[in-house]
Chains A and B, each alone.
Chain A
């Protein structure tokens, strides 16, 4: 990195009248030049030369006052991006179905059942050795696994809520009902996090999703009201599930901190 400065100085560039080279110090630099200062300057210059600009998403998040270190954790995980794209695809499908104005009630039911699965997919598909090639390296850092998964879950939930809210507006239903997926989305994510402390992330996501779909369908059939799960009682139940899910995840947070291997 330091280069052969004395060699450059000795190079004959102007014929016979080249001035004698300045005396060279023990560091290899001419006398009077501080190698430490050169090193500091080089570091500053190289920071500008070699450090790539943050991605557009990262810069956009930083404009929203999210700290740069957090934006890096939010966007620098390719598995998280893949999971987002998958979830986004699901949302687009729901949106297309919802745009069909002739079947408003069925569309609303489809949205309410499918929307909570979006963040669950995002969270469970982006965590673990199978999704993240640097998973084991990140486990061995002082950022606790629980904190990392909470940052990722919050990111996924926030993004999902924004996109799903747009899809909800397309249904034309009263907002109180059209946004009935919101608490179930948080509840299912919390349940999936709790399940991740006992099984693999993908299995946890699959269990949470299956139980949700079966429960909503069964409740609808039993009560003859397909939307019964989204009434006040159902929403209260979801608040309870959020609480239980978060408590279980926190109490068993060691599981996010250690490598999941068969014992």
Chain B
């Protein structure tokens, strides 16, 4: 096995077979099966669905209690395989932070040093420093390299953490709620970075925002540690086909559990439409909400 990794440009192959991980008394993920290679996969689900545990298992910082995970055929349960997998991944944990007192460059360079072990693209030091500047440039922070992290806005701090995931051109990108704290312009930049990379890397991002899931190649809807849906965004929208309608008054109690008032004062309802209802084109959000309420 090659112990000095280089950027291959090939997306990592991710396989999960019945992966289960219990945290406390509950199974955070229960019997998850997943096969992926390339593309942008969005894991969508409410809080507590198991998205973070799934990503932590893929990032090799947690091991499943049962079932198995293989990344490019390597098993994270074995120490040498685990370190090899870690040469290939870029990981953005949820609620991660960086030291406010350090400069933007130092923070990313510190993590680059950790990633540089056995990584040809991040050695020698000159290459590593160049890549640090490159990833800061990608997230639009090259001119802030000398500034202290504490002086940045929340969105900029999130971009600093995002920048480190791109070091070493990883073939597997794991991003837990990457859009947290980003303004619309920053989210657009994130989308273009991910869209550009999805042919060289397998990208798995988690979110509970449906609009963020809609631009991916594939959506996994999770609830209570299980996968409820796995398919392209269009298919998730199709779940609500002919089951979304608009009416001027709130639906009678008990007729549907899911409805909300839109900006024009009408009510958008999901479920079995009453006779003569004015059905509308279904969205990813409609499909997601219907799935969760079934």
A-to-B contact residues, CB < 8 Å: 1, 43, 46-47, 50-52, 68-69, 72-73, 76-78, 133-134, 136-144, 148, 253-254, 257-259, 261-263
Residue contact A52 to B145, C-beta cutoff 8 Å: yes
B84-99 CB mask vs A (1 if < 8 Å, else 0) is 1011010111001111
B150 to A: closest C-beta gap in Å:
11
Which of A43, A136, A139, A148 makes the CB contact (< 8 A) with B133?
A: A43
**Docked pose: A76 CA to B61 CA in angstroms:** 22
Chain B contributes a number of interface residues (CB within 8 A of A) equal to: 53
- With A73-B114, A137-B164 in contact, is A142–B109 under 8 Å at CB? no
Residue contact A52 to B106, C-beta cutoff 8 Å: yes
Which of A50, A72, A140, A148 makes the CB contact (< 8 A) with B91?
A: A140
Q: Find chain B residues with CB under 8 A from A254 CB.
A: 79
- With A43-B130, A51-B133, A262-B24 in contact, is A143–B143 under 8 Å at CB? no
> Among the interface residues B22, B84, B86, B143, which one has the most CB atoms of the partner chain A within 10 A?
B86
Q: Find chain B residues with CB under 8 A from A134 CB.
A: 96-99, 107, 110-111
Residue contact A51 to B105, C-beta cutoff 8 Å: yes
B-to-A contact residues, CB < 8 Å: 22-24, 56, 59-63, 65, 79, 82-84, 86-87, 89, 91-93, 96-103, 105-107, 109-111, 113-119, 125, 129-130, 133-134, 137, 142-143, 145-146, 161, 164
Given contacts A51-B133, A142-B117, 13 further A-B contacts (CB under 8 A): A47-B133, A50-B146, A52-B105, A52-B145, A52-B146, A76-B99, A77-B99, A138-B114, A140-B89, A143-B115, A143-B117, A258-B61, A263-B65
**Docked pose: A73 CA to B114 CA in angstroms:** 8
> Among the interface residues A50, A141, A258, which one has the most CB atoms of the partner chain B within 10 A?
A141
Residue contact A46 to B79, C-beta cutoff 8 Å: no
Q: Find chain B residues with CB under 8 A from A138 CB.
A: 111, 114
- With A78-B101, A136-B96, A259-B56 in contact, is A143–B114 under 8 Å at CB? yes
A84 to B: closest C-beta gap in Å:
14
B98 to A: closest C-beta gap in Å:
5
Minimal Cβ-Cβ distance residue in B for A67: B125
Q: Find chain A residues with CB under 8 A from B109 CB.
A: 72, 76
Minimal Cβ-Cβ distance residue in A for B82: A257
**Docked pose: A31 CA to B142 CA in angstroms:** 28
11 residue pairs from A and B, CB less than 8 Å apart: A43-B130, A50-B105, A68-B125, A72-B113, A78-B100, A78-B101, A136-B61, A136-B93, A137-B164, A258-B62, A259-B56
Q: Find chain B residues with CB under 8 A from A47 CB.
A: 129-130, 133
Residue contact B111 to A137, C-beta cutoff 8 Å: yes
**Docked pose: A254 CA to B82 CA in angstroms:** 10
Q: Find chain A residues with CB under 8 A from B87 CB.
A: 142
B71 to A: closest C-beta gap in Å:
12
Residue contact B113 to A142, C-beta cutoff 8 Å: no
Q: Please give me the 6 A-B residue pairs with the lowest Cβ-Cβ distance, nearest first.
A: A133-B97, A141-B114, A50-B145, A76-B110, A136-B93, A140-B91
Q: Find chain A residues with CB under 8 A from B129 CB.
A: 47, 51
A67 to B: closest C-beta gap in Å:
9
- With A52-B105, A142-B86 in contact, is A137–B93 under 8 Å at CB? yes
A41 to B: closest C-beta gap in Å:
12
**Docked pose: A143 CA to B87 CA in angstroms:** 9
> Among the interface residues B22, B96, B107, B142, which one has the most CB atoms of the partner chain A within 10 A?
B96
Residue contact A261 to B62, C-beta cutoff 8 Å: yes
B8 to A: closest C-beta gap in Å:
16
Q: Find chain B residues with CB under 8 A from A262 CB.
A: 23-24
Minimal Cβ-Cβ distance residue in A for B106: A76
Q: Find chain A residues with CB under 8 A from B125 CB.
A: 68-69
Q: Find chain A residues with CB under 8 A from B107 CB.
A: 76, 134
Minimal Cβ-Cβ distance residue in B for A73: B113
> Among the interface residues A68, A136, A142, which one has the most CB atoms of the partner chain B within 10 A?
A142
**Docked pose: A141 CA to B85 CA in angstroms:** 9
Q: Find chain A residues with CB under 8 A from B137 CB.
A: 1
**Docked pose: A69 CA to B105 CA in angstroms:** 14
Residue contact A76 to B102, C-beta cutoff 8 Å: yes
Residue contact A263 to B23, C-beta cutoff 8 Å: yes
**Docked pose: A69 CA to B115 CA in angstroms:** 11
**Docked pose: A136 CA to B96 CA in angstroms:** 7
Minimal Cβ-Cβ distance residue in A for B88: A142
Minimal Cβ-Cβ distance residue in B for A70: B113
